Amino acid sequence: MSDVHSAAQRGFCCAPQTYERGRPDYPQPLRGWLSAALALRAGSTAVDLGAGTGKFTRLLCQTGAIVVAVEPLAGMLAQLHAGLPEVCALAGTAQNLPLKGGVAEAVTCAQAFHWFADSAALAEIHRVLKPGGKLGLVWNVRDESVSWVAAISELMRPYEAGVPRVHSGQWRHAFSAGLFSDLQETCFGYEHVGSSQSVIIERVLSVSFIAALPQGQQDELAGQLRALIAAHPALRGRERVGFPYQTRAYCCTRLPG
């Protein structure tokens, strides 16, 4: 699909199973944020845009809302169908949503908005939201105040040139058209707990621009990660590791227009 960034197409098409295994879930307090900030409850309709394998879709379903997942990549969509067969899951892009206008109380984008942050996408989100509807943006962001997390980021950094990244803040520029109110931010601490293989190595290998690398380069990076795990005193010899994140949640309201 031409609306999908080439890095996302290459990387996320390669290994949806690795994405599902390696990516963290979301902190349970975010469930309360969905109800309080996005006003989701039984009978509401929520569109999960860029739903991937359904990681965030599962949390949305806990609100009791009617959830429609939209995902452009076939491999991700197949994984979502398999894991959440009860959810309506549709192929589509942020710039061309397969939905009628004014159908949703909320649209959410988890780990996704930076890929399609442009005026066309926000205009489509505005179109499918009801008057006064909410847009929620969520990212699990690595907590680089922890030394070994910062070291992992340094190992990844040479490969990310030219790829949209949430930490650049470029995604905020899309909101200049005045279709939505100011963004309100809430932050939650979170740990992804598991083996170092799953929460570190598979997590890093699930990143789009890493998954798109030739196998030899992926293997080299995995070796560097294993060396870090073996050497760092906070990781060495541990059967289970808590990978720290800051979960940043943003909410804004659809304005008339």
User: Which residue stretches of 69-161 are H helix?
Assistant: 74-83, 119-128, 147-156
Residue 202 has pLDDT above 60, yes or no: yes
- Give the chain's radius of gyration (CA, Å): 18
pLDDT digits (tens, 9 = 90+) for 211-245: 889 999 999 999 999 999 999 999 999 999 999 99
- Of residues 8 and 15, the one with the higher pLDDT is 15
CA distances from 139 to 84, 86, 165, 254 (A): 21, 25, 11, 20
Which CATH fold would you assign to the domain 6-253?
Answer: Rossmann fold (3.40.50)
Smallest CA-to-CA distance from 168 within 117, 108, 123 is with 117
Q: How confident is the model at residue 22 (pLDDT cuts 50, 70, 90)?
A: low
Smallest CA-to-CA distance from 201 within 13, 15, 6, 10 is with 15
From the number of C-beta atoms within 10 Å of its C-beta (0-12, 13-18, 19+), residue 62 rates as: middle
Distance (Å, whole) CA 163 – CA 237: 34
Q: Which two tokens stand for residue 178?
A: 């005045």
- Of residues 62 and 5, the one with the higher pLDDT is 62
- The proportion of the chain whose per-residue pLDDT surpasses 90, expressed as a percent, equals 82
Residue 9 has pLDDT above 80, yes or no: no
Q: Which residues contact 197 (CB under 8 A, 6 or more apart)?
A: none
pLDDT digits (tens, 9 = 90+) for 115-173: 999 999 999 999 999 999 999 999 999 999 999 999 999 999 999 877 888 988 999 99
Q: Which residues contact 198 (CB under 8 A, 6 or more apart)?
A: 21, 22
Q: Which 8-state DSSP code applies to residue 256?
A: P
The whole-number pLDDT of residue 21 equals 65
Rounded to the nearest 10 degrees, what angle do helices 215-231 and 147-156 cross at? Answer: 160
Q: How confident is the model at residue 8 (pLDDT cuts 50, 70, 90)?
A: very low
User: Other CB atoms closer than 10 Å to residue 185's CB: what's the count?
Assistant: 9
Q: How far is CA 167 from the centre of its chain?
A: 13
Smallest CA-to-CA distance from 11 within 169, 160, 166 is with 160
Locate the domains of the chain by residue range: 6-253
The whole-number pLDDT of residue 17 equals 62
Place of tokens 């390696």: 22
Rounded to the nearest 10 degrees, what angle do helices 6-14 and 74-83 cross at? Answer: 50
The whole-number pLDDT of residue 257 equals 80
Is residue 87 within 8 A of residue 109, CB to CB? The reply is no
Q: For the whole model, what pTM was predicted?
A: 0.90
The whole-number pLDDT of residue 208 equals 82
The whole-number pLDDT of residue 11 equals 42
The whole-number pLDDT of residue 1 equals 47
Residue 58 has pLDDT above 90, yes or no: yes
| Least confident interval from 1-5, 8-12, 124-128, 178-182 | 8-12
Is residue 165 within 8 A of residue 117, CB to CB? The reply is no
The average confidence (pLDDT) of the chain is: 91
Pair type for strands 88-91 and 66-71:
parallel
The whole-number pLDDT of residue 18 equals 63
